[in-house]
Structure 1
Amino acid sequence: MFENLDAVILARAQFAFTVSFHFIFPAFSIGTASYLMVLEGLWLKTGNGVYANLYRYWIKIFAIAFGMGVVSGVVMSYQFGTNWSVFSTKAGPVIGPLMAYEVLTAFFLEAGFLGVMLFGMNKVGKRLHFFATCMVALGTLISATWIISVNSWMQTPAGYAINEKGQFVPAGSWLPIIFNPSFPYRLVHTVIGAYLTTAMVVGAVGAWHLLRDRANPGARKMFSMAMWMAALLTPIQIFVGDAHGLNTLEHQPAKVLAMEGHYEPSPNGASLILFGLPSNETAEVHYKIEVPHLGSLILKHDPNAPLPGLSDFPRDQWPPVPIVFWSFRIMVGLGFAMLGLGLWSLLARWRGALYDWSWLHRASIALGPSGFVAVLAGWVTTEVGRQPFTVYGLLRTSESHSPLDAAAVATSLIAFIVVYFSAFGAGTYYMLRMMAKPPQAGEPEPPKIPQRAAGITPAAAVATSTERKA
């Protein structure tokens, strides 16, 4: 049944499926953890019960997303050994320690304080609980830092040497490996993307409930906070994306040329191809719509600057241009849609109609999933654009796989598809059910903290009570 299938293609499809499914959960939990930290901090500062209600509302959703992210991530490390043993052998001395640091510094931090965060609101002091929330948020950011460092090293390898066994090993200090040339751009771009992903979800949930009850204080507050994030962070993300693109042009020019669809060099300035149908077979973009010189203006900040083409590189080093071309445009298009939503919300806020413009609310609901689609499109652009290499310019994908049997890989891929859609589909459905319920409209007092948990002894409590009566 599977004898005509390519085992390497199947292994790549399996890894792409599992990593894409996994990535949507950390992208959401990174932003949600920081959002919960802000909510609890504002509650402690202002005493406003709306923030406490929103914290309780979103922490249940965060717990499910966090759990699904952990479970879906377990599979990734196993695939390195089962499907990509040559890559694991050659890159393991560099990749392995970085992954271990992520577990030791980030996952243990998250796991250590997650229980306090989820179940300790009425059992420990308010400051201790807020500290636990901060540590979980910090843990998600540290985890992202290590994972992005690993991926960035595969994109722009640095600080390595190759030993007699053909393995990549540190050439002295680990700092050039960790802080490789593309790392800071990728980290900032990814974290802001996670924040925008959460903002779009929070804004959509708030808009959903505003359409049903414009007086709901929780819906008003979450929608307002989400729209501030969209208005303020999206322009920053566009600026960071531009800097990231310039860095990629320097270190991975073939990837950028695939993103832009430039098969031929442009000695007098490159146009910006808005849309078209790229073809690696014919080495051209069919039916293209382009703006003259705008490509060089964006990539070189000079409309007449020359730009190379993919034809300047060996054909066996070209990435699959159609995939990279369109995934990049999906990401950029959704980014500008978020910017438009943020600017629209500023206009509504200025007019005093942020909670009244129903079409703004409908647009926010429509863009609710946009963050997930954008981060996945960005991930596809990054990973497919790196092809045909696993370690860019040094180790080809075709040389990285295990001695694979196509039938075994196809069977496990089918099993992953069935299990993932069943288990994680049910979890996602449950989260959507929780989001469909409105946050409490009332503003109850902050929860009372047990005296011992708050650091108050029974004797001190009696004394305080007696003083108040006196």
Structure 2
Amino acid sequence: MFGLEALDLARIQFAFTISFHIVFPAITIGLASYLAVLEGLWLKTSNTLYRDLYHFWSKIFAVNFGMGVVSGLVMAYQFGTNWSAFSDFAGAVTGPLLTYEVLTAFFLEAGFLGVMLFGWNRVGPGLHFFSTVMVAIGTLISTFWILASNSWMHTPQGYEIIDGRVIPVDWFAVVFNPSFPYRLAHMATAAFLATAFFVGASAAWHLLRGRDNPAIRKMLSMALWMALLVAPVQAFIGDLHGLNTLKYQPAKIAAIEGHWENVGDEPTPLILFGWPDMQREETRFKVEIPALGSLILTHSLDKQVPALKDFPPEDRANSTIVFWTFRVMVAMGLMMILTGLWGTWLRRGERLYTCRPFLHLAVWMGPSGIVAILAGWYTTEIGRQPWIVHGLMRTADASSGHSAAQLGFTLALFVVVYFVLFGAGIGYMLRLVRKGPKIDGGKETSEGGPGKPRTPARPLSAAEEGLEDGETDTLPERS
């Protein structure tokens, strides 16, 4: 298929399916915590605005959660179908970690999700809020175990190799491997930021179309506070993660920087832009700043960053790809920080909700968090190559040995099914966003609440409702 070998097609198939999957858990993590905050604020202040925002975003959360579960099942099966040699080699580590994720996080989420979505007028306020919090905690526990498994593949420890298989001997060392804390914090924070900009973009979209009410304003305000406070923290976490990667995966850093060789004892420059050429072993058309690479990556001006030529060609990641995916991620992060700062400046003149250039920027920044997550994920996973378990097993030795024709057919099938199935799901989510929070001229239509008469927040209830102006978006009465 297009001159690609079976291994290339297996890698592309995994990358394609995980690119779809990672979007949904990221939004699920952020929305779950956002819903917990909204319900907590409503219980504390009795402001019905928070309640209506909760009902609105709980529908979107439910649809997103469902797509995340479905897409995640495919990922689990691929370990056995396309990467059976890896499963045989490292299954004693990765298998239990993924099982712990199901036994703790997934069961916790599934156990309380029904109460959260359908129990609004069937249980008391305390129990309903507890259920929402448990779902939010469940998403974070899921992140914990998934990142523990993936991080071990980057910085393995706590194991022995017996009869050609990895055997865990210290589970604490396996779980809390050297890169795990940084990658967990980086991913969780990225999920919060992605959700914040998703929420903020939806609010800005409504404001640009003249739908200015307290609920929409609150959505935008909360999103921008998150951007202002968390985006700089994410940059700091990223710096710590970079230092950890330099220590344990120096070849990845060299590929990310497009840095081929050091000159004498000179500090390493920072290459802002260029085109790393793997065949010519140089970065062409580069624009660089002297010594800045050493300052950023080692926090000193007298240390050098390892260069790609320090490693054999067969141990080098594809610098052409990770050089640019990393810069896309950093660019999105800088834009998030600037958006948060601009929003704060506009608050001073009470122009946050009326400055159309800023609102247009907020809309365009809606997918920035997802773009940053995907770019960061590509940087991490492609930068690990040629290892599937760093230093222990090469990716070429991990595949199941299927033919290129078989993998090409299944890849094409995945592309068609995914775009149809998840395209429809994403389209439906955007339809829900178009509707906006349920509000009537800025006044709430009923009191209600947990344990009081009010229609539950059914995630698919909007399917039968119109989207045009003048149509009601009142939830149907409970039978």
1:273 maps to 271
Which whole-Å deviations, capped at 9, do the CAs of 1:279-331 have from their partners, x for residues lacking one?
A: 11111110111111111010111123222211111110000111100000000
Runs of 4+ in 1 over 6 A off after TM superposition: none
Which whole-Å deviations, capped at 9, do the CAs of 1:357-382 have from their partners, x for residues lacking one?
A: 11111100010000110000000000
Q: Shift of residue 215 of structure 1?
A: 3.4
Q: What secondary structure sits across from 1:8 in the alignment? A: helix
2:235 maps to 238
Alignment of 1:126-205 (within 5 A): 126-164=125-163, 166-171=164-169, 173-205=170-202
Q: Shift of residue 4 of structure 1?
A: 5.2
Distance in 2, matches of 1:7 and 1:296, equals 39
Letter in 2 for 1:383: E
Change beyond 3 A, Cα 1:121–1:76: same
1:463 maps to none
Q: What secondary structure sits across from 1:390 in the alignment? A: strand
Letter in 1 for 2:444: E
Which whole-Å deviations, capped at 9, do the CAs of 1:249-268 have from their partners, x for residues lacking one?
A: 00000001111110112531
2:470 maps to none
1:319 maps to 317
2:399 maps to 401
| 2:203 is the alignment partner of 1:206 | yes
Residue segments in structure 1 that go unaligned for 5+ positions in a row: 453-470
Change beyond 3 A, Cα 1:206–1:451: closer
Distance in 2, matches of 1:449 and 1:361, equals 35
Distance in 2, matches of 1:191 and 1:113, equals 21
| 2:288 is the alignment partner of 1:287 | no
Does the Cα contact within 8 Å between 2:26 and 2:194 map onto a contact in 1? Answer: yes
Change beyond 3 A, Cα 1:247–1:97: same
Correspondence for 1:254 among 251, 255, 263? 251
Q: What secondary structure sits across from 1:356 in the alignment? A: coil
2:456 maps to none
Q: What secondary structure sits across from 2:174 in the alignment? A: helix
Q: Which stretch shows the higher mean deviation, 264-273 or 216-225?
A: 264-273
Q: Shift of residue 32 of structure 1?
A: 0.5
Does the Cα contact within 8 Å between 1:163 and 1:169 map onto a contact in 2? Answer: yes
| 2:218 is the alignment partner of 1:221 | yes
Q: Shift of residue 413 of structure 1?
A: 0.6
2:85 maps to 86
Which whole-Å deviations, capped at 9, do the CAs of 1:396-443 have from their partners, x for residues lacking one?
A: 001101121111111111111000000000000111111112322323
Does the Cα contact within 8 Å between 1:327 and 1:378 map onto a contact in 2? Answer: yes
TM-score (norm 1): 0.94
2:301 maps to 303
1:461 maps to none
Correspondence for 1:374 among 325, 350, 372? 372
Q: Shift of residue 444 of structure 1?
A: 4.2
Does the Cα contact within 8 Å between 2:121 and 2:452 map onto a contact in 1? Answer: no
Q: Shift of residue 214 of structure 1?
A: 6.0
1:333 maps to 331
Q: What secondary structure sits across from 1:168 in the alignment? A: strand
Distance in 2, matches of 1:90 and 1:394, equals 10
The count of residues paired between Structure 1 and Structure 2 equals 450
2:29 maps to 30
Which whole-Å deviations, capped at 9, do the CAs of 1:123-150 have from their partners, x for residues lacking one?
A: 1111111000000000000000000000
Distance in 2, matches of 1:371 and 1:235, equals 14
1:442 maps to 443
Distance in 2, matches of 1:146 and 1:179, equals 10
Residue segments in structure 2 that go unaligned for 5+ positions in a row: 454-479
2:56 maps to 57
Letter in 2 for 1:447: G
Q: Which stretch shows the higher mean deviation, 57-66 or 300-309?
A: 300-309
| 2:423 is the alignment partner of 1:425 | yes
Q: What secondary structure sits across from 1:25 in the alignment? A: helix
Q: What secondary structure sits across from 2:67 in the alignment? A: helix
Q: What secondary structure sits across from 2:448 in the alignment? A: coil
Distance in 2, matches of 1:168 and 1:406, equals 29
Distance in 2, matches of 1:261 and 1:187, equals 26
Q: Shift of residue 212 of structure 1?
A: 2.5
What RMSD in Å do the two structures reach over aligned CA positions? 1.5
Does the Cα contact within 8 Å between 1:265 and 1:312 map onto a contact in 2? Answer: no
Does the Cα contact within 8 Å between 1:152 and 1:186 map onto a contact in 2? Answer: yes
Change beyond 3 A, Cα 1:310–1:17: same
Distance in 1, matches of 2:450 and 2:145, equals 37
Does the Cα contact within 8 Å between 1:207 and 1:365 map onto a contact in 2? Answer: yes
Q: What secondary structure sits across from 2:167 in the alignment? A: strand
2:457 maps to none
Letter in 2 for 1:13: I
Does the Cα contact within 8 Å between 1:214 and 1:356 map onto a contact in 2? Answer: no
Which whole-Å deviations, capped at 9, do the CAs of 1:156-198 have from their partners, x for residues lacking one?
A: 001110012x111112x20000000000000000000000000
Alignment of 1:92-107 (within 5 A): 92-107=91-106
Distance in 1, matches of 2:66 and 2:329, equals 27
Distance in 2, matches of 1:407 and 1:237, equals 42
Distance in 1, matches of 2:61 and 2:365, equals 20
1:460 maps to none
1:411 maps to 409
Distance in 2, matches of 1:308 and 1:368, equals 37
Q: What secondary structure sits across from 2:134 in the alignment? A: helix
Distance in 2, matches of 1:160 and 1:351, equals 59
Letter in 2 for 1:185: Y
TM-score (norm 2): 0.92
Q: What secondary structure sits across from 1:169 in the alignment? A: strand
Distance in 2, matches of 1:143 and 1:451, equals 33
Letter in 1 for 2:201: A
Q: Shift of residue 356 of structure 1?
A: 1.8
Q: What secondary structure sits across from 1:403 in the alignment? A: coil
